[in-house]
Structure 1
């Protein structure tokens, strides 16, 4: 059995630190774990526009690449931590469209949101960070604070639109939920 844990949020909001902490907890529970991350960089390297230049195509590329990476990671891990789960890309697309005054067609929008709404059900737990402007930007990150704020708002709006619930990764109740999930997963893995 594989559990998928997704953590969404704009860049430089503590996701990487959170992922490292969950990996440590997984090791303590003797669980195999894998991380899916850095999909936007691969998208850019493939020739697609990202950040303020996101398009329907780049968003779809990211979303389907995340799905593919999740499936591959699930072949070898009991816990798959997804740094930027499928719905995260919707927030970046919406922020890009708002920043540039562009639009996608209603069919394209329905396609992307439908894909996210169906796929999000695979996550055993979905988390979303909150932008904390005091956290320093990571290396090679886009420094546009206005865009980061917009991405943060639009990620949350996208999660609401696809009618899914999410949790604050820093809340004590979420930390307890994660520990319980890992304990349950460890128990079922050892049979």
Structure 2
């Protein structure tokens, strides 16, 4: 049965290994602890790679669009299943930032029309988020050695994420590696979601 209640939609974005998934897991646990039904999307890059699409610094227009569209489909499925809160691990803008960073890493240029098309696609989804949390790269934080990350590409993704947010003047909550910053983000989400839930209660 499709829910008639519009859920709260929260997206997180940022370069890899900056705590996005961990942050959303903590938010999910807090919200569930207060009795809210929560759906969390994610694993988009791994799923893309599993069907043969390139990732990281090898991203293409096709892999970028697949991640955006699949993320949208996952969020819509969560809405249809009646979640009160949908947590998107990698908001739509995130995929575009990864692609822009990949192009810069490879010293390539994005076609103007294609750039406009992808930005419009992202813009149609960004407006749907009630809150956006943007993690920030801390170069002093160690990265799991099992991940073969290129540090320069990781830096480029971080720069493009925040440049896109600033260029389009998109409201967002920056989240640093500091535990207090994570706590503030969690508290902000919790307060917002509980207020929305209370407003819907007859």
TM-score, scaled relative to structure 2: 0.87
Q: Deviations over 1:2-43 (max 9, x none)?
A: 111001011110112211110111112200101111101111
Alignment of 1:19-98 (within 5 A): 19-76=24-81, 77-98=83-104
Question: Unaligned 5+ residue runs, structure 1?
Answer: none
Unaligned runs of 5+ in 2: 1-5, 176-180
Change (3 A) 1:142 1:189: farther
Q: Which moves more between the two structures, 59-68 or 126-135?
A: 126-135
Aligned counterparts of 1:107 and 1:35: Cα–Cα separation in 2: 33
Q: Is the 8 A contact 2:26 2:186 kept in 1?
A: no
Could you say what the CA RMSD is over the residues aligned between the two structures, in angstroms?
1.8
1:124 corresponds to? 130
How far did residue 135 of structure 1 move? Answer: 3.3
Cα distance in 2, alignment partners of residues 186 and 137 from structure 1: 37
Partner Cα separation in structure 2 for residue 58 and residue 162 of structure 1: 23
CA separation of 1:135/1:74 partners in 2, compared to 1, >3 Å: closer, same or farther? farther
Secondary structure in 1 matching 2:170: coil
Q: Return the alpha-carbon distance in structure 2 between the equivalents of residues 105 and 44 of structure 1.
A: 24
Q: Is the 8 A contact 2:14 2:94 kept in 1?
A: yes
Q: Is the 8 A contact 2:10 2:129 kept in 1?
A: yes
The answer to whether structure 1 residue 182 and structure 2 residue 188 are counterparts is no
What residue in structure 1 maps to residue 109 of structure 2? 103
User: Is residue 2:172 matched to residue 1:166?
Assistant: yes
- The alignment partner of 1:97 has SS state of helix
Give the superposition deviation at 1:158.
1.6
Q: Would the alpha carbon gap of residues 165 and 32 (structure 1) be closer, same or farther in structure 2, given more than 3 Å must change?
A: same
- Counterpart of 1:147 (choices 153, 157, 179) is 153
Paired with 1:120 and 1:138, the residues of 2 have a C-alpha distance of 30
Quick check: 1:33–1:79 contact (8 Å CA) kept in 2? yes
